Structure 1
Amino acid sequence: MEGRNRKLYAFLTIIVMVLGLLSRKAAFLLPDIVTMYLGDALWALMIFFGAAFLFPKLKTSRIWLLSLLFCWFIETTQLYHAPWIDAIRATTLGGLILGFGFLWSDIIAYTIGTLVGALLDYYLVRKTRSGN
């Protein structure tokens, strides 16, 4: 495998970041069921694209597993509450990255987000190989 176009994956990571932030600001435009899970799925998609950027030669399946395990790890850390980590979570950036409380629904949203990333990546890598 010759690797992914890192500029494209950097761009995709930024686009998904913006969409994730917009999903919070424009929540009133979307159905409740979508707003409940969209941010988490987009966060996981951003992690997938970021991992694809960092590891452009890895297989899609490995990037998917790496990003999924990372997302699940971050979610499980939300079971731990100590003053120092809760102080980090209290900041805007810390809250966006670390979250606040463990939810099984977040695990599902992360799984969906990373799967969407893997499917898009598979398509992009395949398209690049075929020269289209």
Structure 2
Amino acid sequence: MISFGLLSRKIAYQLPEFINLYLGDSLWALMIFLMTGFILNKVSTFQAMIIAISFCYLIELSQLYHADWIDNIRSTTLGGLVLGYGFLWSDILAYSIGVGFGAIFEKLVLKP
């Protein structure tokens, strides 16, 4: 999943702008959903979805806070990938798409 997200950034110039806007963040949120389900394998799909989307939203909201110490973390490659750089409403939509896709896929395909 991480590879797909990084690849989406590398080939961004080849993708339509609409897809490019949401793909990387949607994949990141999907990864968080999958990790939540893997680590907390006894929770329901709905609970995993709520935990994952809450985590994603909290990370995005944390981008409204700027202090030297956290901005220094964000300036590193790993810190920027995990914490992001600045708040965007489009990221909230992308996270919803990614987690929603994971939950729907699990309910319709993996647990019929």
Tell me which interval the TM-score lies in, with the shorter structure as reference length. over 0.9
User: Which residue in 2 is equivalent to 1:57?
Assistant: 42
Q: How many residues align?
A: 112
User: Which residue in 1 is equivalent to 2:61?
Assistant: 76
Which structure has more RCO (C-alpha within 8 Å, separation ≥ 6)?
Answer: 2
How far 1:45 sits from its partner (Å)? 0.4
Task: Give the aligned residue type for 1:114.
Answer: V
User: Which residue in 2 is equivalent to 1:20?
Assistant: 5
* Cα distance in 1, alignment partners of residues 30 and 57 from structure 2: 13
Report which of the two structures shows the higher radius of gyration computed on alpha carbons: 1
How far 1:32 sits from its partner (Å)? 1.2
TM normalised by structure 1 equals 0.82
SS of the aligned residue for 1:76 comes to helix
SS of the aligned residue for 1:95 comes to helix
* Cα distance in 2, alignment partners of residues 60 and 125 from structure 1: 11
How far 1:124 sits from its partner (Å)? 4.4
User: Which residue in 2 is equivalent to 1:119?
Assistant: 104
**1:64-99 C-alpha deviation (Å, 9 max, x unpaired):** 000000000000000000000000000000000000
Stretches of 4+ aligned residues off by more than 2 angstroms: none
Extract unaligned runs of 5+ from structure 1: 1-15, 128-132
User: Which residue in 1 is equivalent to 2:80?
Assistant: 95
* Cα distance in 2, alignment partners of residues 33 and 43 from structure 1: 17
